[in-house]
Structure 1
């Protein structure tokens, strides 16, 4: 297990090589270094995963300690990792999906002048995320947490010559600082409470010293969740993620599928013991997750940018993951995180293939009929859409259905109803995207249509692999069949303590009959099919209907199209007042006080110098007169004494 440090070390080495010498290397060598680093990390992760499987379930936890990082008085932090089933699932997702995105990028970014810089940033992004999920304590996790924030800023604003891209990068960075402030407070409060930041020590002490509902644990978990809200783009700090589409499309795939936005979900699941002891915090997590899932889905209904539709889809799906964790279904939340990585990476890379084929066009109103020109992209994108819609037997069906099922079984009927409605909206807007992009008559201009081409092999192969994973990725957790729940059995040791705490609460009762579970599964599929059916009716059978509906409900349509004017609200209520405050502080404090003090000191010495200049005339008779006057003053002083 001591070799675990190699997993983040390989991408970091790729970052150093391409960052320092990338301009001197050919593009082929740059791509080989970046992809090779991720491949080595993935192979190392597979080896450790195999070794983990050889252990008994209750012994599948290793905590390699490399050195004492900080030792100041009572404060001591070790540079250590935590390898258990949860971290291994995350490592395999980050390295596996990340490797496919790196390979895809060699084709997508081939003609970009910043090729080496791009892959250096991409490797560093993967390294930071791997450090985050492998961390054995909160401080090491925070280093990775800030690392992915930095890399998101660099990659979202990768094309910094564009004002919109640089602004989007700054927006992501600033919004995440709000969440990170809460996360830092949680770290301080955790150390003050437990005297340690080591996960294993915190969880053991929490079970022994606290009862469910203790206010200290509620404070810690709520502050941790503030960090998760920022990093994983939940209400009200979701606004940075749609603007993150300004970066290259493979970056969007990496952010949305395998790295940054999943960090918050992972952190909540990692701290499941603390959340199980803080029922109020769990309720907040579930409510915010459900609200975000439905809120973002409604916005996705009318967006016309192919990447923005997928961005709001990510915000919504992250809400489902938090909903699962909030009702105590941590396995379901992580299961959906894993399957989502497969089909969301596929959807973004498929969108990238469309954009690449159309010379940068992203508006679905200027597409149509592309399945004739892009068959590989079409079929793989369709697989991803069926998965996210929750259609059997694709991966999203198994993971999303389990979250819905656990939500209802834990007594959250209202949240279940809202989440089920969100699932119908998901199916509708995703197949609206499919039908507008790949079906109907072409709406491309002749010049664009003339140059449409299928993705090259470096892009098509990752699409195909991800499409297969989007199909079979959910079969590791088959509902109804007890023997089919391999994923839950694998993760069971991680969440055993949390399950034990939750077992005594009224919200976690007996398991229903298989008939009930089967009926609920059938209901979720029917709801998804209904959403797809409405999308077909509106955008294929009767393509004029959406315009009629938009005209009839024009006010609601404008609200959805403008994303409920949340960005405008933030601009008016937060951004502009802060800018005016900054200008006021600049005018009165910086200029009047600070500059005034500096300028005043200069003026004082300048005036003193002017007075002294009158004495230093350079005339001997003046100096003689001054000496005489001085002598007279001394004589008068002596006589006075």
Structure 2
């Protein structure tokens, strides 16, 4: 069997074994199956990738069987490996394996341990199917699979009703995006006669050239599908609530992999978007607005995971801004670097949560620097990469490349991108502030909860590896990534020689503003925190904090516009008014029956009176008719 197929088959087998065993499997056995399945998948991916690179081919297709054949539509179960899917496969299996190892430590002692790893394995298999499928139908199957696993894992602690509601919310909002993706697939099949991805990419310029409005609608539907999965405005409200799941779930699904599926989809079908530049601009605007809204929201959160969730939303905004500026490779490299440092931050936060007896409020922690310097180092590296500290973190090399590309587009394509560049710079400023706030409060604030010692190789080894990958050493991955993306014909961003100096100045400006944000964070939270609390207690400060805490009220707006009307309709139609209308006829007959029965009294006097009244009424009617006739 193909090594490429084994990358999916191993976690799928792990899922079947764990699902069949469930509570019958001891924890060590379940951990070996769950972690081992993804480890074998990572090894298979390594060898498959090595063979592919050594072959010098631009792509490789492994046809397994035909899925179905209806009316000429015959999508196959075929796996497609090129530079883009190789990058995604390596990220999913590599980072996924490290998170599985950490989860075997983090979830120890939890009820339904095997159930957790069965969902985790199924997610990895679905995510690999999404990125390796050679047609949109197969991609959509994986797309729905990861959505299902996200729902199951967000609601893993289902005994708490709030977690169930969070899972339903994530499932519902992302399904809205999935409907748009389905519409895009219908439009693509109508125009191309196929869902084969390579054919779509190769022929988009010729097929969509004749109808610009259709190109716009197709690209827009694809983008809205991507926005739902990647938590971009207006479909972003689910991600923060998704933190109800166990922390390894937040690291793997809602930070490192699934939420980047939207970026992958746009880059995979980039030629469709090139036929609709207006949609590319809309994508860039959406990413910019999302990163700004998420940045303000992260400033005032108190839950450690929600802070990181909003930071994830913000970094995804940078990726969308990159692809909107046609800097696809910059966006994809930031996606890879983000997988490293955000997995590091989430797993580190999981260790912090366990160290403080499952406490997630940062203001109930404090003093961790003096208890666990390893966790501080992990947070410092991850936070530095998030804030794009220059040269020493991978975030600097990936995020600033995006801002530089957006600035270049603003100079040579559309002044709109110049405005978006400054929005991105403002987002970098906010990122530095809330990142410092998080680290300072947790590690140097007053200790409010007793510290619990944590240890174990399955705890520190994944963090150490991700920590190294989040430093500036990961810059050396940039050249190989660009090389494999070039083989996949993902366009490199063209920088005119005349704009190179200006682009570097724009990047340095972004770095400078981020460092200023760091200084502001130090001043506000290390030296002037009393003044911050005093401002927060004023009516203006409390109002602003409430707006930011609720992420500008999108949830409340959707509750008024969509949720309450839906519940009202559900209440009305739950009683089946149509069926009630048909019940009116037997009700009339029954009423007539009761009236007629009531008149059968057996009294001759009543019968005679009724007959006399009837005769009088008939005579009156006849007289009136006679008068009218004359």
TM-score under structure 2 length normalisation: 0.89
1:420 corresponding residue in structure 2: 425
Q: Secondary structure at the match of 2:434?
A: helix
Aligned partners of 2:455 and 2:517: how far apart in 1? Answer: 30
User: CA shift at 1:176, angstroms?
Assistant: 1.0
Match of 1:494 among 473, 481, 488: 488
Aligned partners of 1:469 and 1:538: how far apart in 2? Answer: 30
User: CA shift at 1:213, angstroms?
Assistant: 7.7
User: CA shift at 1:550, angstroms?
Assistant: 2.1
Aligned partners of 1:290 and 1:513: how far apart in 2? Answer: 22
Residues 339 and 473, structure 1, Cα contact 8 Å, conserved in 2: no
User: CA shift at 1:457, angstroms?
Assistant: 2.4
Match of 1:433 among 438, 444, 449: 438
* CA pair 368-476 structure 1, distance change in 2 beyond 3 A: same
Q: Secondary structure at the match of 1:250?
A: helix
The answer to whether structure 1 residue 459 and structure 2 residue 445 are counterparts is: no
1:587 corresponding residue in structure 2: 575
1:577 corresponding residue in structure 2: 565
2:124 corresponding residue in structure 1: 126
User: CA shift at 1:22, angstroms?
Assistant: 3.4
Q: Secondary structure at the match of 1:237?
A: coil
* Mean Cα deviation higher: 169-178 or 536-545: 536-545
Residues 212 and 278, structure 1, Cα contact 8 Å, conserved in 2: no
Aligned partners of 2:576 and 2:114: how far apart in 1? Answer: 46
1:560 corresponding residue in structure 2: 548
Q: Secondary structure at the match of 1:578?
A: helix
Aligned partners of 2:455 and 2:529: how far apart in 1? Answer: 28
TM-score under structure 1 length normalisation: 0.87
Residues 408 and 499, structure 2, Cα contact 8 Å, conserved in 1: no
1:623 corresponding residue in structure 2: none
Residues 357 and 455, structure 1, Cα contact 8 Å, conserved in 2: no
Aligned partners of 2:579 and 2:370: how far apart in 1? Answer: 64
Provide Cα deviations, 1:233-254, integer angstroms capped at 9, x if missing partner: 0001111110001110111111
Residues 398 and 477, structure 1, Cα contact 8 Å, conserved in 2: no
Residues 430 and 517, structure 2, Cα contact 8 Å, conserved in 1: yes
> Where does 1:100-499 land on structure 2 (aligned, <5 Å)?
100-211=98-209, 214-392=212-390, 393-411=392-410, 412-444=417-449, 449=450, 451-472=451-472, 474-476=474-476, 485-496=479-490
User: CA shift at 1:277, angstroms?
Assistant: 1.7
Aligned partners of 1:200 and 1:515: how far apart in 2? Answer: 37
Aligned partners of 1:24 and 1:174: how far apart in 2? Answer: 33
Provide Cα deviations, 1:413-437, integer angstroms capped at 9, x if missing partner: 0000000110111111111100011
* CA pair 153-590 structure 1, distance change in 2 beyond 3 A: farther
Size of the aligned set, in residue pairs, is: 582
Aligned partners of 1:156 and 1:237: how far apart in 2? Answer: 17
2:614 corresponding residue in structure 1: none
Aligned partners of 1:267 and 1:86: how far apart in 2? Answer: 11
* Mean Cα deviation higher: 307-316 or 539-548: 539-548
User: CA shift at 1:32, angstroms?
Assistant: 0.5
1:29 corresponding residue in structure 2: 29
Residues 22 and 112, structure 2, Cα contact 8 Å, conserved in 1: no
User: CA shift at 1:545, angstroms?
Assistant: 2.5
Provide Cα deviations, 1:17-41, integer angstroms capped at 9, x if missing partner: 1110132221111100111100111
The answer to whether structure 1 residue 523 and structure 2 residue 522 are counterparts is: no
Residues 320 and 331, structure 2, Cα contact 8 Å, conserved in 1: yes
Q: Secondary structure at the match of 2:447?
A: coil
User: CA shift at 1:196, angstroms?
Assistant: 0.3
Provide Cα deviations, 1:145-176, integer angstroms capped at 9, x if missing partner: 00011000000000000011000000011111
* Mean Cα deviation higher: 331-340 or 535-544: 535-544
* CA pair 154-252 structure 1, distance change in 2 beyond 3 A: same
